[in-house]
Chains A and B, each alone.
Chain A
Amino acid sequence: MKKHLITATLYTLVTAVLLGIVYPLAITAISQLVFRDKANGQLVTRKDELIGSKLIGQPFTGPTYFHSRPSAAGTGYDASASSGSNLAPTNKAFVDRVAASVAAEKVNNVPVDLVTASGSGLDPDISPAAALAQVSRVAAERHLDEAKLKRFVEAHIIDRQFGLLGEPRVNVLALNLALDAGI
């Protein structure tokens, strides 16, 4: 038993250094050399100012922007407190929250992802259906040609990876930044 204790203690310490220090630091070093931007979160700057990450969603609720999904992370899109709502499908609070979102979107038969909260609360994407459903509102607010804006949105659709994996989607931050830059 005493021998087991000594071996176990030494084994824990030695492998802790290997697996808990050497391994993650080595991966960090290589990542910082080879994939610098990706390893640091693909931050986006505008006029020398950090304004987001390509991967992390932001809240957009005003009429002139394409809206992102509702978020249960903190007060909404809090990227230091990621979370889903964890509301059950039979929870009255959930059904009421969706009804309020449906009313706010003012769209007939609104695509489901636009009125439901994501798992992370940081979903950067909406479905192409959800983006296209907002075209007429954004076009009217920004005095843009609706057909032209529709083509602009379609150009921002990210297809399935390798044409197979995942679902088609639109990155809301990228779309809105491109919109601000002018179409």
Chain B
Amino acid sequence: MSLNGWLQIVVFFAAVLLFTKPLGVYMARVFQKQRTRLDIIFGPCERLLYRLTGVNPDEEMSWGVYATAMLVFSAATLVLTYLVERLQHVLPLNPQHLPGVASDLALNTAISFTTNTNWQSYVPESTMSYLTQMLGLATHNFWSAAVGLALAIAFIRGIARREMKTLGNFWVDLTRGTLWVLLPLSALFAMVLVSQGVVQNLKPYDTVKLVEPQAVTGTDGKQTTVTTQTIAQGPVASQEAIKMLGTNGGGFFNANSAHPFENPTPLSNFLQMLAIFLIPAALTATLGQMVGSPKHGWAVFAAMALLCFVAVLTCYWAEAHGNPLLHGVDQHVSALHSGGNMEGKEVRFGIANSALFATVTTDASCGAVNSMHDSFTPLGGMVPMVNILLGEVVFGGVGAGMYGMLVFVIVAVFIAGLMVGRTPEYLGKKIEAYDVQLSMLYVLIFPLLILGFAAVTVLMPRLGLSGLANHGPHGLSEILYAYTSATGNNGSAFAGLNANTHWYNYTLGIAMFFGRFMMIIPMLAIAGNLAGKKIVPASSGTFPVTTPLFTILLTAVIVIVGALTFFPALSLSPILEHLLLGAGQTF
């Protein structure tokens, strides 16, 4: 660990803090249909869109109608992506003449992008045409993020409204989130990325002559000489921008944000990390603004920042320590190199930025990677896994993090109520049995899917275990990480696992689908129920949700729920691997 590394981490946190309030207040204005400077451009677009699609913007929706509209829309977008993938060989913008995508992979990918997971069982540069990337995948980066944003706003309305039956209009929230927030930010960010060297073109792949031809041994054992290099190209920057801002994380290339064309410079890397946290962090300020208690927004922000900081600290420490099994290798940090565990990491990012990126991308439900998590040290790699297991509520995905966090807030005030022995309230709303039951349903679906699928998979040698790249406890980590990432809609991977098989494509698809929609429905039901409640005036017995005590209680609830649920599984995978690594054991 170095002073410069710490400084970079502190500067990153400062940047997140700086943008939280302005963007959060702006988003509150956007979703409450108040005037903004961008109305002049997007107002006419909005009205045209409603006219073309038959949306009545004044219609208010109950939680059930809101949920139905969201599900039907998600289904329609899923079908479009599936069709584009299957038919890409007869559609334009396919300069590499790639064939249509196989049905199980196409289905997995369509679910993956619809659910904001962006799990990728395939190598994009040899599987997806430019049109599929643009029309089939990048569009979902907007849609799934806008859906998440709309859902978070609906939940916040549920808290803010009193004695009402409705949560707003899904189509209006979707439209305003896309036009006023995601699209302008993406266009701006895409141009900044191109200025750093992220490519943006539609030309066929370039073939260049190697300076030093290489003798290589093929898989068949034959010696050949490689004299050229084929360089994949494409419309990367436009997708990269929304991939980060929408916490989607699906790479244009297989190596994701480790690829020099996706993430060429330290500045592009810094901005990509900032883009992941930008909207989720700002939503805490939107929450404060819309419920009329900015201090509550900051109290939630503080809980998130605290959990994030501890995670970065752990990951940076573990990765900077390096691998004790390597001999004759200098892993000590100096002015001339960053040392540490450099397998799977890029020199331009070094240890600090790789650890920070891994933490940020899994705190949020992004799943983009600038280093390969599978090659992290056991404890370093456990950090991203734990981040997802905690429910991705540390800033979290666009929208998804906020509503996930608010479910934990309900659990926290419920526990606080139990401790003092009176009916818990949250911002004047009495939290009753129905709300807590649904919150627990939300909390329990998650481990049920992860541990259930992982347990079944490890029992199947042919379907499950044959895909492993690493053995021993690390093999269990690979499987556990896969179902964690899918259920949490993250999309990052311990990528050694070969998941492009029928078993993994279908089961991970199911995990992604239920991990998204089975959690949204109880969440919306809570919101609908909260919206109908009266406001009870605060009394001396009310547990305040604006204080450091609340922040600590909330943090404790998240950690304890996560620890109780997942500690046994983690102790058999990364923790055991860490102990065996210390003992010099290899597999």
Q: Report B-chain residues with C-beta under 8 Å of the C-beta of A169.
A: 347-348
Of the candidates A49, A77, A94, A177, which one forms a contact with B229 in the assembled complex, judged by CB atoms under 8 Å apart?
A77
Interface check B539, CB cutoff 8 A: no
Question: Which residues does chain A contribute within 8 Å of B328, judged by CB atoms?
Answer: 99, 102, 108-110
* B110 contact set on A, CB distance < 8 A: none
Q: Determine if B208 and A53 form an interchain contact, defined as CB atoms under 8 angstroms apart.
A: yes
Mark contacts of A53-78 with chain B using CB atoms, 8 A cut-off: 1 yes-contact digit, 0 otherwise: 11111111110010001000101111
- Shortest Cβ gap from A144 to chain B (Å): 18
- B interface footprint on A80-109 (CB within 8 Å = 1, 0 otherwise): 111111111111101100110010000011
| Cα A13 to Cα B125 with chains together (Å) | 26
* Known interface pairs A23-B238, A55-B264, A91-B470; A113-B347 also in contact (CB < 8 Å): yes
Q: Which residues of B contact A77 (CB under 8 A)?
A: 229
A88-B375, A102-B329, A118-B344 are known contacts. Are A53 and B235 too (CB-CB below 8 A)?
no
Binary per-residue interface labels of chain B (465-484) against chain A in the complex, 1 for a CB within 8 Å, 0 otherwise: 00001111110010000000
Complex: how many Å from CA A140 to CA B581? 39
- The answer to whether residues A89 and B346 also contact, given A28-B201, A39-B199, A76-B216 and a CB cut-off of 8 A, is no
User: Which residue of the partner chain A has the closest CB to B78?
Assistant: A12
Given contacts A77-B229, A166-B269, contact A84 B375 (CB under 8 A): yes
B418 CB-CB contact with A under 8 Å: no
Q: Say whether, besides A11-B53, A90-B581, A112 and B342 are in contact (CB < 8 Å).
A: yes
A91 to B372, CA, bound (A): 15
Chain B contacts of A82 at CB under 8 A? 125, 232, 253-255, 258-259
Binding site for B on A (CB under 8 A): 1, 3-16, 19-21, 23-24, 26-28, 30-32, 34-35, 38-44, 49-62, 65, 69, 73, 75-92, 94-95, 98-99, 102, 108-113, 115-130, 132, 160-162, 164-169, 173, 176-177, 180
Q: Which of B34-88 contact A (CB under 8 A)?
A: 49, 52-55, 68-69, 72-73, 75-77, 80
Contact pick for A92, options B143, B214, B586, CB 8 Å: B586
Alpha-carbon gap, A81 to B255, bound state (A): 8
> Quick one: which of B254, B265, B343 contacts A81, CB cutoff 8 A?
B254
Q: Is B190 part of the binding interface, using a Cβ–Cβ cutoff of 8 Å?
A: yes
> Known pairs A19-B139, A56-B261, A79-B230. 7 more at Cβ < 8 A?
A13-B80, A23-B238, A24-B235, A54-B197, A120-B258, A121-B255, A127-B338
Q: Is the CB of B4 within 8 A of A164?
A: yes
Q: What chain A residues lie within 8 Å of B329 (beta carbons)?
A: 98, 102, 109-112, 115
B551 at the interface (CB under 8 A from A): no
Q: Does B173 touch A at the CB level, under 8 Å?
A: no
Tell me the residues in window 432-485 of chain B with beta carbons closer than 8 Å to chain A beta carbons: 469-474, 477
Whether B163 is near chain A, meaning CB under 8 Å from some CB there, is no
Interface presence of B195 (CB below 8 A): yes
Q: Does B362 contact A (CB under 8 A)?
A: no
Q: Which of A8, A23, A88 contacts B75 (CB 8 A)?
A: A8
Give the residue name and chain of the B residue nearest to A121 (CB).
Answer: B255
Q: Which chain B positions have C-beta within 8 A of A41? A: 199, 201, 206, 231, 233, 261
A31-B194, A90-B577 as given contacts; A50 in contact with B208, CB under 8 Å: yes
How distant is B204 from chain A, measured CB to nearest CB, in Å? 11
In the complex, 8 of the A-B residue pairs with CB atoms within 8 angstroms, ordered by the A residue number, are: A7-B171, A41-B199, A58-B229, A80-B125, A84-B258, A85-B343, A102-B327, A128-B337
Cβ contacts under 8 Å, A56 to chain B: 229, 231, 260-261
Contact A177 B258 (CB under 8 A): no
Inter-chain contact B212/A118, CB cutoff 8 Å:
no
**Structural contact, B194 and A39, CB atoms closer than 8 A:** yes
Contact yes or no, A40 B345, CB < 8 A: no
A58 to B73 Cα, complex, angstroms: 45
B226 CB-CB contact with A under 8 Å:
yes
For residue B102, CB closer than 8 A to chain A, the reply is no
Q: Are A94 and B472 in contact (CB under 8 A)?
A: no
